[in-house]
């Protein structure tokens, strides 16, 4: 029953697919008109309410995991990084 409610909310009321299409078209159009070196438009700046609806905020644990993954990939790019880091910590 819960899945049906979510499908109804996203499909018939929320129009999630329309919001995704609208945001990509809008940001793409605006970004094509930017000058060289300008900050690109993102969905969160153009359609902030739609962004909050579509992309749920990360929990503290998910944020920490993302930070760790970003740091690990940054360190692994170094040519002299140990093989343990390049192959992933296990």
DSSP notation for 37-79: TPPPP-HHHHSHHHHHHHSPPPPHHHHHHHHHHHHHHHHHTST
* Spatial distance between the Cα atoms of 71 and 81, rounded to a whole number of angstroms: 13
pLDDT digits (tens, 9 = 90+) for 48-63: 877 777 777 889 999 9
pTM over 0.75, yes/no:
no
* Spatial distance between the Cα atoms of 39 and 17, rounded to a whole number of angstroms: 26
Which is higher by pLDDT, 3 or 49?
Answer: 49
Q: For residue 80, give the 3-state DSSP assignment.
A: coil
Position 66 scores a pLDDT of 93
Position 75 scores a pLDDT of 84
């Amino acid at each position: 029953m819960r899945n049906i409610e979510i499908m109804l909310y996203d499909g018939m009321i929320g129009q999630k697919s329309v919001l995704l299409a609208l945001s990509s078209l809008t940001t793409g159009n605006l970004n094509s008109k930017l000058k060289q070196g300008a900050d690109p438009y993102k969905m969160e700046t153009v359609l902030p309410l739609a962004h909050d609806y579509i992309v749920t905020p990360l929990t503290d644990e998910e944020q920490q995991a993302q930070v760790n993954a970003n740091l690990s990939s940054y360190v692994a790019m170094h040519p002299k990084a140990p093989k343990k880091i390049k192959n992933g910590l296990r």
